[in-house]
């Protein structure tokens, strides 16, 4: 079992650079040139990790074995990782906001393994793994 993490310390930085020469970036059929850059550091960060629960079982005989494992991870709703300050396009003065968010879907991972041993098999192993969003 893994519990969600605690957000105790942490800072981040963000660098944004965008330039375009004679492109129609807003779909108005007019070509424009633009430039913008921003570097921000020491931004407070938030990181979330999901709760997870894993189970597994194994059976081993004299010449074979079967192994099973499954782990479920809860989903995480969208949240803000960092909140940089809005800044201006250098070419036209419009304000740019850079939301930096994260989210995760619930996932179930399953694995099954079969181990066969004997004179003619020489330790053959077969494994099947699956990962599915729930």
Per-residue confidence band for 131, with pLDDT thresholds at 50, 70 and 90 = low
- Residue 96's domain spans which residues? 11-133
Is 24 part of any domain? yes
pTM score of the predicted model? 0.65
The answer to which of 40-44, 61-65, 84-88 has the lowest mean pLDDT is: 61-65
Asked whether the CA dihedral 18, 37, 82, 12 is positive or negative, the reply is positive
| Averaged pLDDT for residues 98-110 | 92
Is 89 part of any domain? yes
Type and span of the H or E element at 129: strand 124-133
Give the span between the Cα atoms of 107 and 76, in whole angstroms.
11
Supply the pLDDT for residue 88: 84
Q: Residue 128: is its pLDDT beyond 90?
A: no
Token pair belonging to 22: 């004679």
Calculate the alpha carbon distances from 59 to 56, 107, 114 in Å.
Answer: 11, 26, 10
Is 3 part of any domain? no
- What are the pLDDT digits (tens) for 21-34? 888 877 888 888 88
If one counts the domains in the chain, the total is: 1
Q: Residue 119: is its pLDDT beyond 70?
A: no
Is 2 part of any domain? no
The closest of 30, 26, 34 to 93, measured between CA atoms, is 34
């Amino acid at each position: 079992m893994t519990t969600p993490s605690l957000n105790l310390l942490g800072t981040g930085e963000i660098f944004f650079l965008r330039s375009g020469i004679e492109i129609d970036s807003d779909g108005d059929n007019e070509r424009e040139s633009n430039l913008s850059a921003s570097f921000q550091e020491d931004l407070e960060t938030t990181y979330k990790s999901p709760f997870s629960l894993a189970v597994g079982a194994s059976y081993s005989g004299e010449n074979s074995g079967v192994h099973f494992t499954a782990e479920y991870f809860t989903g995480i709703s969208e949240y803000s990782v960092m909140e940089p300050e809005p800044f201006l396009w250098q070419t036209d003065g419009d304000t740019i906001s850079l939301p930096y968010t994260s989210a995760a879907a619930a996932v179930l991972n399953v694995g099954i393994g079969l181990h066969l041993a004997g004179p003619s098999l020489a330790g053959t192993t077969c494994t099947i793994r699956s990962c599915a969003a729930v």
